[in-house]
A and B are shown apart, each in its own frame.
Chain A
Amino acid sequence: GIQVEQSPPDLILQEGANSTLRCNFSDSVNNLQWFHQNPWGQLINLFYIPSGTKQNGRLSATTVATERYSLLYISSSQTTDSGVYFCAVSNTGNQFYFGTGTSLTVIP
């Protein structure tokens, strides 16, 4: 299967700070998604981004498929951004592989 590594594993930020989360994957993919998991376990879709760059408010993401990595940028972080961020990839569409996540804590 595809190995997915996320870094850093843990991140603590002051409110208002910016951050970059990274996702490396071991094989070519045709599906890549970023999720935010809230404290109740709900996975919230952030980006569907198998390649290219997208922006949504304070969040943006870039996937460089040829180099097998994706980046999630969070600007002007807020306490509500706290939680675990997951990257998930697939190269068949039938089986998706998740990384171990980045746990983000934003301090007021």
Chain B
Amino acid sequence: DAGVTQSPTHLIKTRGQHVTLRCSPISGHKSVSWYQQVLGQGPQFIFQYYEKEERGRGNFPDRFSARQFPNYSSELNVNALLLGDSALYLCASSLSGGSYEQYFGPGTRLTVT
């Protein structure tokens, strides 16, 4: 069975631009979460979606938004990119919200110049 997939693998953008990152969860999983990992730190929670509804939001500005589609895949959008948005963006899937094990994708490495 395929694990969590993310695209693209790497991305280079310029300050002020917009970016869309994509995630497909493990088959049968209905919850997707997004994390940002800056070099040298642990992942920071951005969003959780379950059944197309936002179930959790971390301490990130409104420039960050996400959505989940009927097939449970998800997009993370970031507007007006800043240099500080350069990071590894990780997607995790789980059966649902609540006390379930999370499985992570390989991540998208975003560089903002």
Contacts and interface: CB of A to CB of B under 8 A. Distances in A.
Interface residues of B, number: 25
B99 A31 contact: yes
Nearest to A42: B106
Interface in B88-113: 88, 90, 97-104, 106-107, 109
Contacts, number: 59
A42 B104 contact: yes
Interface residues of A, number: 25
Interface string A83-108: 00010101011111111110000000
B7 interface: no
A41 B109 contact: yes
Contacts of B45: 95-97
Query: A30, A86, A95, A97: which has the most chain B beta carbons within 10 Å?
Result: A95
Interface of B: 33, 35, 37, 41-45, 48, 55-56, 58, 88, 90, 97-104, 106-107, 109
Interface of A: 4, 30-31, 33, 35, 40-43, 45, 48, 50, 86, 88, 90, 92-101
